[in-house]
Structure 1
Amino acid sequence: MASNHLYLVDGSGYIFRAYHRLPPLTNKHGEPVGAVYGYTAMLWKLADEVHKADGPTHMAVVLDKSSHTFRNELYDKYKAQRPPPPEDLIPQFPMIRDATRAFSLPCIEEEGWEADDLIASYAKAALAQGWQVTIVSSDKDLMQLIEPGLDMYDTMNNRRLGAEAVVEKFGVMPHQLGDVLALMGDSVDNVPGVPGVGPKTASKLILEHGDVEAVLAAAPTMKAGKLRDNLIEHAEMARLSRKLVELASNVPLPDPLEDLALKGIPEAPLRAFLDHHGFKSLLMRLGGGGGGVDAPQPAPASTIELPADPPCDHDAYESVTDLAALDRWVEEATARGFVAFDTETDGLGAMARLVGISLATAPNRACYIPLGHGGNDLLSETPEQIPTDQALARLKPLFEDPAVLKIGHNAKYDISILGRQGVSVTPVDDTMVMSFNLDAGLHGHGMDELAATHLDHSCIAFKDVVGTGKSQKGFHEVPLREATRYAAEDADVTLRLWRRLKPRLSPEHVTRVYEMVDRPLVPVLSGMEREGIKVDREELARLSAEFSGQIVELEKEIHAIAGVPFTIGSPKQLGDILFDRMGLKGGRKGKSGVYSTDVNELERIAADKDGGPGVEMVRKVLDWRQLSKLKSTYTDSLQAEIKAETGRVHTSYSLTGAQTGRLSSNDPNLQNIPIRTEAGRRIRDAFVAEPGNVLLSADYSQIELRLAAHMADVPQLREAFLRGDDIHNMTAQELFGEVNRDTRARAKTINFAILYGISRWGLAGRLEIAPDEAQAMIDRYFDRFPGIRNYIAETLSSVRECGFTTTLFGRKTHFSRIKSSVQHERQGAERAAINAPIQGTSADIIKRAMARMGPALRDAGLPDVKMLLQVHDELVFELPEGDVERAKPVIERVMATAAEPAVTLSVPLGVEIGTGLSWGAAH
């Protein structure tokens, strides 16, 4: 009869690995479950692996019960420096225990003992009965236990650890490791050790003398020096450290060894646990879907099920270094009719240099084609690779073949890189965009997160390939074998994600928004990014100098009011000045004990019409902050963003950066240049046209109010737009019975604030009135426009029922906090949900206009009209001055009819167009 084999799983190690492996996720109940999901997947993977190997007969997961143990009695500073668990991890501990029990595994923990002590005690008891023991961990403290019959299993590296692994890492046998750990100490657990003694010195001392006591006894006879002095001076700390690192192996066993017998995993409790949290991909592995719309890794709500892909086999990936091999891959991709692809570059941004291309045609059928590898100096070795022009000549027909679907993840970037090489890429599916269309609001859409969520796979980290800090190298310097493993994995994972996401589009009713809104925009944005926009460096430099002077003057004025110089940018110093020195009322301190000086707090103070010097100073601080931000974010940094090759700035657009579907931009971010301030307008003046050209700005007029009139069915608003009335004047008349500058301004604020689900307190702050008066205005607004009230009520009812909102084009935005028990989280989700269908529909419409604009201009004989920027509801073009009058009606028509024929609106879409030599002049 085979010997019993006990597996002891270091559950605490699993928990923290799972927490740091995955980004924050929430389940359908709004609870944080990133660590729970990762822990469950890792435990399942372990169960699969040990079943396939000479698996255990007995198994238990061992956890820490409490932070206070006998070691704290020996040394009150033990683990004192260890930070508390992250706030979002704490509520996950009970769920992790539930996960363990869902696998019908014993979950062992005991008050007053660390998990390591329990593991040591169970191991000793099992070995005494002749059992074999495996500890599932890579913790150095547990390596002390390794002996004949007991090994460790490092699941991270899929490696068995025996005595040789301890010798390799620490230079001593396992039974001597405790002495080494005692001498070297442990900063994480606050084990003091002996100052100046690291792993190598500790190992050398123990090998020479045997144990800690022998080392200390020999210290007086050692060669004079710091080591000898420290050993003598800190002898008692060394003895204490030896007690702290020693594992207690005599803890009474909470559960008898026999009770740890594996009896299989009953399906019912595991299914119930997975379904409760909406872990759909794990449910599919169990043999069925389920769960709700707010699962952290939503799988198809349909009956479509795909067999699990095999694990990624990095050794199966091919490095393609000759034309014959490349021809073979091109032929295979052409025959299949689809191919996943990715590019590797020497940097970020559309102007980066191409280093290599990866392809994948099936799971584990992937390759990497190096094109620009080699060191940065003449002595560096250049590996064998195909010349770039020859490789691209072979690949160009494949990438431009309309019969072969190209699949990318954030394909816009790769299209831009290849576009600069004269290679077009069409047609394209984008898995990042698919994920966003399916699951916006549930999780991020980066490849690493999606691989963990949908494929239970951890991608190779970029930093593990190129390094970090001063030792970081460019990807072109990475050896081909490592580069192939990393790059080909990207294409392989992209293909696997496509196989999971594509079948979900139709049954989950997002095909329309993907095919008619977002997918067509990918190549359009790529073209806009490559085109860029000219920026006047000298004008920016002048503005920077001017802003610097104004900032210095404001600092002098602020210090004069305060009566003392201080660092205005320091929240602590500013808070102390405002609330302690100047006595302003209403200051509130956060957990750190520092007064809040965020923009909302300062604007609240600045709104005090009867305020004294303190309020005046706050207004100047707000001006100082705005000027400082404009200077650092725009007038200074934009100069550095001008590319030498083009003399233009090339922003990067994201289709997935805003939950509602709006585009966002970065490097640089051009979405947040203030439009209502003189300083913001002057920054726009630095964006200019090339000689002989002008810039044209086309801006939707009040598009969100127009959509509200249609979507909420508000007759008064709809008819006012049809007549071309001033909508804010009409609202002022409805609410206040008269129209003047003050009532129109208030009406304008209310019109937009209501659509953002503003509260009575929020509106009171905006209008500088009492909350009761603000509530009366809200009530009056709803009385005049009951359609808006009904729209809000129906939207909230729907999102509470199904977990998401939809736009007129079917774009889903999920709100996992809509039922949160935390009031401010729930109210924040409600406000966002009220606006999401309107703002999202607005985003969908301008995207449709952008996708149609190029063909419309070309059909009109205007190929030289280039679309450069999209900022909120505005499109910016550059065109020859002689094309302006012909281009205006084309641009206006495309934008005004962008919703059609998919959606017919009951209100017209107004478009305002202006032109000028600069963006500021055109806007």
Structure 2
Amino acid sequence: MSFGKGARLHLIDGSAYIFRAYHALPPLTRKSDGLPVGAVAGFSNMLWKYILDQQGSEAPTHVAVIFDHSSKTFRNAIYPEYKANRPDLPEDLQPQFPLTRDATRAFNIACIETEGYEADDIIAALACKARDAGGQVTIVSSDKDLMQLIGNGVTMLDPMKNKLIGPDEVIEKFGVGPDRVVDVQALAGDSVDNVPGAPGIGIKTAAQLINEYGDLETLLARAGEIKQPKRRQTLIDNAEQIRISKRLVELDCDTPLDFTLESLEVKEPEAEALLKFLSEMEFRTLTNRVAEKLGAEAPAVVSAPPSDAPAAPEQPGIDTSLYQNTTDRAALDQWIADIRNIGYVAIDTETTSLDEMQAELVGISLSTAPGMATYIPVGHVAGGDDLFGQTQRVDGQMDLAEVLAALKPVLEDPAILKIGQNLKYDWKILARHGITMAPIADTMLMSYALNAGTHNHGMDELAERYLGHKTIPIKDLIGSGKSQINFGQVSLDKAGRYAAEDADVTLRLYQHFAPMLPTERVTTVYQTLERPMVPVLGQMEMSGIRIDGDTLKRMSNAFAQKMAQLEDEIYELAGEKFNVGSPKQLGEILFEKMGMAGGKQGKTGAFSTSADVLEDLAVEHDLPARVLDWRQIAKLKSTYTDALPTYVNPDTGRVHTSYSIAGAQTGRLASTDPNLQNIPVRSEEGRRIREAFVATPGHKLVSLDYSQIELRILAHVADIPALKQAFRDGVDIHAMTASQMFNVPVEGMDPMIRRQAKAINFGVIYGISGFGLSRNLRIPRAEAQAFIDTYFQRFPEIRAYMDRTVEDAKRDGSVRTLFGRRINTPGINQSGPAAGGARRAAINAPIQGAAADIIRRAMIRMPDAIAHLPAKMLLQVHDELVFEVEDGAVDDLINVARDVMENAAEPAVKLSVPLVVDAGQGMNWAEAH
């Protein structure tokens, strides 16, 4: 239907609907997984009521729901403080925003948002376009900012009061007609949106002035004529600020639209799609109402009943003898039907190896209720080979291709929740077979969100701790050592009990943890920082990165020569030759022959020569310093230049590291096989390792790295004015610190003084002591302590932050990051040496944790942001992301990725300092970094 005279367009303010729904209803969580859905429920009910109310000859012919895309718009470029005072969104509201978009589409209504523009601007553009085409427009909202659009065929409808708002109502509110609302708002300002306006002038006075002088520009031009001195001076002094305010409140009727008015034509809800969404959200009452109205059968709304019994003895027992293998299509189809009926399934895969990139799939286990689990064997073989050297497939199994084809629609169905333990492994295994599991829930990550720092999160420990059940040990099936077999060689009956138990236990753990997430206030952490990492990291790990074997060989030889050179220096300092790699011989040289202080003998009688011991001694003598250098080179050689080639996948020719999401309690990722997080970046040798990581021909590696992110977070959380201003001004933070500490000018500063300030700046984040700083700088302890004392005198806010954080940790047993991540602090209330470590960890955790949260948020947003580019995200190392991109798209990738990273904290947290991302590119990682 064309849009013209007689057309009636309704524009629904989606954001207003969301906030009204959120504040009008009590908190509500989806029983199956603890996801907050209260605002989604209210939003859906409001949409349904709206649809029912639009009947008769005046019903709309076209309709759309308009949303804000993000907090950053073109207005922030005009006035950076625009909306800066807005409070953070409630934790349980954040994950509901995307669901309201899903709800809009489920109701078959156009869902619109545009990056860089507010919903009000889109509404303005649509209203102007529709009005000019001869149509009638109704804006469904009570937002005063939209009242400037009223008139000439545009009205507003307050959906809560069911009251029309026209020109008379605008005059009643603002004292002027719609055409002068912007002028009044520019004068009065808006404290909610942080629009400055004219100090001391409110709506009433602003309306009087505009009515007297006609419009804002005339008023400002004739401000000198105003008799009241204070008001006159205010307008003269703040004229430019008032003009800026007008630009902030004036809606943009020229907002770009990538669709036509015709595309907004009203469509009837499609019963199947709408009821599927409502039942997936577990809105039983609304599901039944909609089904009745649409004349459709209401689908069953079944949620996993959460376990209310946290104590292990209260958990139902697990009898593994009840499980049965699924070995025919009819039985598999029945399981699939059950899964579709209840809307969730716990899943686990069994394979021949822990290496997801090479492991062969031998079976899949499923569970739909406690005690209801099965194993589907597909790749088990007999223990020995046949006469022709071929493995023999065991009878009683289904065909792998048939099983995957049958399960694929279920595993990819967005209405069916897939539950797993350490699900990234299974995600990758299935992804290699063309199946992308979604949506997912991960019990390991639930446990991590709830209990980081208190215990491990492996299934065996969780089962015993929370279910009172000891799982079947894998060693009982595959053995250990040289006689170990792979899972594909395990008999079907033993494999079935073990695998089905995994799925059953996983489902029970899910039912235990899901209701705890909102209770412990970690739902948002799990939903936005943990669970979404599974597919992001899974894809990164599968992409892998190329390495240059020849470069590694040259480095290995160079490191061997460097080690030999250091050995000669060590022998000369020691006065004799000895095995530098022998702690026993080194201890004898240092403490017996050379008589150095601090020698401690263990139970075996040998002296300790740990890194801590050598770092203490290095302050006084060159020999331990050279040994430390030798050890670093030896480690680089053995761990990287010699070992990296062994990690190259023979099928892909690339190295595929594996990231642990639930490793460090602060949220930092860890990588293994190989560990790429521990490549030193401050030493020349460590930087050279990165030369071996290379781009595919025709591509570049691009590195984007947060600049001093933890110091920036410290400046924000400790509220340190000097540091915050320095970061805003883009000055050299270490030189600035040195200047303020030691009263020396920045210009011409001795590099050693800057280095000392840098060591303190970074060390203080980790609660460094004079003892630790003396090690880092290799200076006397008294001198190091004096530096720290001066630092705290200059920045007392840091000491206040430390004391406050420790007190909070002692009281709560945990600390939280800016994003709500809870980091437990066991040992904080103990005495002795352990308490010192717990105290330092508590001080550092909110800072390091927030940095980890920010880069996670960036990584989660990145795939969608760069989907249009020939680029892949390959690695994450601390505060750095590494990409591979085609040569011609490097600049585009840098621009997009940098924007994502620098704005990753928002809208959840508005930092008082800017995040800055450094970018580089090259044929190898060293060039790019």
TM-score category of the 2 structures, normalised to the smaller one? 0.5 to 0.7
**Contact 1:568–1:574 at 8 Å: present in 2 too?**
yes
How do 1:374-773 residues align onto structure 2 when only pairs under 5 Å count?
374-375=381-382, 377-378=385-386, 380=392, 382-608=394-620, 611=621, 615=622, 617-738=623-744, 739=746, 740=749, 741-773=751-783
Distance 1:471 1:721 in 2: 60
Once the two structures are overlaid, the 10-residue window that deviates more, 435-444 or 769-778, is: 769-778
Match of 1:32 in 2: none
Q: 1:818 maps to what in 2?
A: 828
Partner SS for 1:915: strand
| RMSD, aligned α-carbons | 1.9
User: In the alignment, is the contact (CA less than 8 A) between 1:301 and 1:507 conserved in 2?
Assistant: no
Partner of 2:797: 787
Give the stretch that moved more between structures: 680-689 or 309-318. 309-318
- Is 1:801 the equivalent of 2:807? no
Query: Is this contact kept in 2: 1:651–1:665, CA < 8 A?
Result: yes
Counterpart amino acid of 2:899?
R
Q: Shift in Å at residue 533 of structure 1?
A: 0.4
Q: Percent identity?
A: 54
Deviation at 1:693, TM superposition (A): 0.4
1:367 to 358, 362, 374: 374
- The amino acid of 2:563's aligned partner reads I
- Give the AA of the match of 2:550: E
The answer to whether the Cα contact below 8 Å between 1:439 and 1:814 also exists between their aligned partners in 2 is yes
Q: Which of 786, 795, 799 is the matching residue for 1:776?
A: 786
2:757 maps to a residue whose letter is A
User: Are the counterparts in 2 of residues 302 and 507 from structure 1 also a CA contact under 8 Å?
Assistant: no
CA contact (8 A) 1:541 1:636 kept: yes
The alpha-carbon deviation at position 773 of structure 1 amounts to 3.9
Give 1:563 shift. Answer: 4.3
- Residues 647-685 of structure 1 show CA distances to partners (whole Å, capped at 9, x for unaligned) of 100000001111111000001000000111121111100
Tell me the equivalent position of 1:140: none
- The alpha-carbon distance between structure 1 residues 559 and 783, as it changes in their structure 2 partners (threshold 3 A), is closer
Q: Name the SS of the counterpart of 2:642 in structure 1.
A: helix
- Post-superposition shift, 1:746? 0.9
1:551 deviation in Å?
Answer: 2.4
Contact 1:708-1:838 at 8 Å conserved across structures: yes
Q: Is residue 914 of structure 2 the alignment partner of residue 904 of structure 1?
A: no
Helix, strand or coil for the counterpart of 2:385?
Answer: coil
Contact map agreement 1:359 1:488 (CA 8 A) in 2: yes
Deviation of residue 318 (structure 1)?
1.5
Asked whether the equivalents of residues 315 and 485 of structure 1 are also in contact (C-alpha less than 8 Å), the reply is yes
Residue 586 of structure 1 deviates from its aligned partner by: 2.8
Structure 1 counterpart SS, 2:466: helix
Contact 2:311 2:466 in 1 (8 A): no
Q: What is the identity, as a one-letter code, of the residue corresponding to 2:673?
A: D
Structure 2 distance, partners of 1:308, 1:572, is 53
Query: Does structure 1 retain, via aligned residues, the 8 Å contact 2:312–2:465?
Result: no
Distance in structure 2 (CA, Å) of the matches to 1:760 and 1:577: 28
Instruction: Give the aligned residue type for 2:452.
Output: A
Cα deviations across residues 549-572 of structure 1 (Å, max 9, x unaligned)?
332343344345434443222211
CA spacing shift, 1:777–1:553, aligned 2, 3 Å: closer
The code of the aligned residue for 2:628 comes to L
Partner of 1:855: 864
- Could you say which residue in structure 1 is the equivalent of 2:24? none
Who is 2:850 aligned against? 841
- Amino acid paired to 1:908: P
Once the two structures are superposed, residues 57-81 of structure 1 have per-residue CA deviations (whole angstroms, 9 ceiling, x without a partner) of xxxxxxxxxxxxxxxxxxxxxxxxx
Give the direction of change, closer, same or farther, for the CA distance of 1:403–1:381 in structure 2 (3 Å limit): closer
Contact in 1 for aligned 2:309/2:315 (Cα 8 Å): no
| Structure 2: distance between partners of 1:553 and 1:725 | 41
Question: What is the SS of the residue equivalent to 1:506?
Answer: helix
Alignment of 1:294-313 (within 5 A): 308-313=314-319
Aligned partners of 2:714, 2:591: CA distance in 1, in Å? 43
Maintained 8 Å contact 1:410/1:431: yes
Distance change in 2, residues 1:578/1:815 (3 Å): same
Separation of aligned partners in 2, 1:592 and 1:481: 49
Deviations 1:762-786 (A, max 9, x none): 2233344444443333332222222
Question: Mapping of 1:114-513 within 5 angstroms?
Answer: 308-351=314-357, 352-375=359-382, 377-378=385-386, 380=392, 382-513=394-525
Cα pair 2:377 2:397 within 8 Å, conserved: yes
The residue number in structure 1 matching 2:290 is none
1:368-389 per-position Cα deviation (integer Å, ceiling 9, x unaligned): 1111110352364522211111
- Separation (CA, whole Å) in 1 of partners of 2:735 and 2:576: 48
Distance across 1 between alignment mates of 2:308 and 2:318: 26
User: What is the one-letter code of the residue matched to 1:465?
Assistant: L
Task: Check whether the contact 1:302–1:504 (CA below 8 A) recurs between aligned residues.
Answer: no
Query: What is the CA-CA distance between 1:305 and the residue it aligns to?
Result: 9.2
Gaps of 5+ in 1: 1-299
Cα–Cα, structure 1 residues 385 and 304, in superposed 2: closer, same or farther, change >3 Å? closer
- Aligned to 1:355, the other structure's residue is in SS state strand
* Structure 2 residues not aligned, in runs of 5+: 1-305
8 Å CA contact retained: 1:544, 1:631 = yes
For 1:518 and 1:672, the matched residues in 2 are separated by 23
Contact 1:409 1:431 in 2 (8 A): yes
Partners of 1:370 and 1:480 within 8 A in 2: yes
The answer to whether the 8 Å contact 2:427/2:538 transfers is yes
SS in 2 for 1:425: coil
Deviation at 1:853, TM superposition (A): 0.4
SS state of the match for residue 792, structure 2?
A: helix
1:592 CA displacement: 3.4
Structure 1 residues 771 and 301: CA distance shift in structure 2, 3 A: farther
Amino acid at match of 1:541: K
Residue 503 of structure 1 aligns to which amino acid in structure 2?
A: P
Q: Shift of the alpha carbon at 1:349?
A: 1.9
Contact 1:350 1:650 in 2 (8 A): no
Distance 1:774 1:628 in 2: 30
Once the two structures are TM-superposed, the CA of residue 452 in structure 1 deviates from its matched residue by 0.9
1:287-339 CA distance string (max 9 Å, x none) = xxxxxxxxxxxxx9999999944211111112111111111111111111111
Contact 2:545 2:656 in 1 (8 A): yes
CA distance in 2, matches of 1:542, 1:774: 40
Kindly provide the CA deviation profile for residues 325-371 of structure 1, in whole angstroms up to 9, marking residues without a partner as x: 11111111111111111111111122111111111111110011111
Question: 1:810 corresponds to which letter in structure 2?
Answer: G
Q: Check the 8 A contact 1:301/1:504 in 2, yes or no.
A: no
Tell me how far apart the structure 1 counterparts of residues 393 and 517 of structure 2 sit (CA, whole Å). Answer: 47
Offset of 1:582 from its aligned partner?
2.5
2:866 match: secondary structure = helix
Against the structure 1 CA distance between its residues 301 and 844, is the aligned structure 2 distance closer, same or farther, given a 3 Å change threshold? Answer: farther
- Is contact 1:342–1:359 with CA below 8 Å preserved after alignment? yes
Aligned-partner residue type, residue 802 of structure 1: D
Aligned to 2:922: 916
Q: Which amino acid aligns with 2:844?
A: N
Q: Is the 8 A contact 1:309 1:496 kept in 2?
A: no
